[in-house]
Amino acid sequence: MPLIHRRLPLSLHHHHRPISLPLPSTATRKFVRFISMSTSSQETATEEKQELLTQVSKYHNQTKHSFTNYARGPHGLDWANQPNPFRRYISAPLLPLLHPTSDDQADSPPYSSLFNSLPSPKPISKTTISQLFYNSLALSAWKTTGFSTWSLRVNPSSGNLHPTEAYIISPAIDSLSEHSFVAHYAPKEHALELRARLPSGFFAGCFPEGSFLIGLSSIFWREAWKYGERAFRYCNHDVGHAIAAVSMAAAGLGWDVRLLDGLGYEELEKLMGLNTFPGFSIPSRPVKGRMPEIEFEHPDCVLLVFPVVELI
C-alpha cells in the first residue's frame, strides 16, 4: 500500500539568552510573512470550527425533548411527497441474492461467541454476500392491519422509516459479477442493482486481499416527512444501527469491519455513484405539489470488510 506522507508542523525554537540578529533578508521577510499567514489561517480555522460547534450545540438543544415539553415537529404530513421506503434504480441490472437455508443458519456461530472470538473467515462468494445482507439489512417481516401493510427490517430504525441505503463496492464475485463493481442493495427484492463496473486493479492496489466496501447513505426526507427538524438526529441513529448490524453479520462469517473515516463528502458521493443526481436546495417559500428531488441521498460513510487473519 502507498505510504502516507504527513506534513510536519513548523516549530519556532526560543533561546533563553538574547542573541543579535542580522537585518532580515528577502527570504527571511518572506518566511515571516508565511508564518504570519499560517497563524492567521489557523485562527480563521479555529473560529470556523468554533462556529460549527456552536451550530451543532444549537441544533442539539433546539431539537431535543425535555421533561416539560416535546421538541417541535411538523404540523401535518405532506401526503403529496410521501417518501418511498424502497429506493430502486430501474435501469440497473438486478442481481438476485440467495436466501439462506436452514443449513446455512445452523452453521452460524452463536451470537454470544462473536464477542470473544471470530470463526475462521469464509471466502467471498454469492452465498456469503447474500448471507451478509440477509442478516444485516434485509426485510425481516411484513405486517398488516386493516388496509395498511408495512415491512420490518433487520436493522432498527426510528419510526420504522429506514432512511439508510446501502451499497457494495467489491472485486469480482463468482455468479454475481465478472468485474469489480458498485451495486445498490435493494432489500425488498433482496438483490443487488449493478450501478457501475470498476477497473480490475482497483482493489488489488488499495485494499487487502479478500476485502470489499460497504457504503451507507441517508435519505433525510424519509424521517423529516414525519419528524421535521429532528430527522437529522434519527438518521444518524439509524446509520449507527446499520454499522452495528453489518458488523455483527460480518463477524458471523469471520470478517472484520472498519470505518474508513478519512474520506470526505465528495469522495463518498463519487464512490457510491451519488454525484450523478442533481443537488437539492431548500425552497425559499412553500411549494405545493410533488417535489421528487427532495428524496436526495446524503453519503454518510464507508466500511471496509475484510477476513480476519490469525497471527501465529
Q: What are phi and psi of 257, to 5 degrees?
A: -135, 135
3-state SS assignment for residue 140: strand
Mean pLDDT of 34-40: 60
Q: How far is residue 242's CA from residue 240's CA, in Å, rounded to a whole number? A: 5
65 domain residue, yes or no: no
224 domain residue, yes or no: yes
| pLDDT given for residue 35 in this prediction | 53
251 domain residue, yes or no: yes
pLDDT at residue 141 tops 90: yes
52 domain residue, yes or no: no
Across the chain, mean pLDDT equals: 85
269 domain residue, yes or no: yes
Mean pLDDT of 103-126: 85
108 domain residue, yes or no: yes
| pLDDT given for residue 100 in this prediction | 85
Predicted confidence band of residue 1 (pLDDT cuts 50, 70, 90): very low
Domain with 209 in it:
92-276+294-307
| pLDDT given for residue 23 in this prediction | 44
3-state SS assignment for residue 286: coil
Predicted confidence band of residue 2 (pLDDT cuts 50, 70, 90): very low
Domain count, the chain: 1
pLDDT at residue 34 tops 70: no
List, as one string, the DSSP characters of 233-245: HHHHHHHHHHHHH
41-52 per-position pLDDT tens digit: 778 888 888 999
312 domain residue, yes or no: no
The 8-class DSSP code of residue 80 comes to G
Which of 41-45, 93-97, 243-247, 264-268 is least confident?
41-45
77 domain residue, yes or no: no
Mean pLDDT of 302-307: 96
Mean pLDDT of 236-264: 95
Which of 21-30, 225-234, 252-261, 271-280 is least confident?
21-30
Q: Are 184 and 167 in contact (CB under 8 A)?
A: yes
pLDDT at residue 59 tops 80: yes
69, 72, 77, 83 alpha-carbon torsion, rounded to 10°: -110
Predicted confidence band of residue 202 (pLDDT cuts 50, 70, 90): confident
| pLDDT given for residue 112 in this prediction | 83
Task: Name the one residue in this structure whose C-alpha cell is 525554537.
Answer: 13
pLDDT at residue 168 tops 90: yes
Mean pLDDT of 180-209: 90
The fraction of the chain above a pLDDT of 90, given in percent, is 55
Q: How far is residue 133's CA from residue 97's CA, in Å, rounded to a whole number? A: 9
- Please report, for the domain that includes residue 115, its CATH number: 3.40.109.10
| pLDDT given for residue 253 in this prediction | 94
Q: How far is residue 87's CA from residue 165's CA, in Å, rounded to a whole number? A: 8
CA 146 to the chain's CA centroid:
36
| Cell numbers for 21 | 540578529
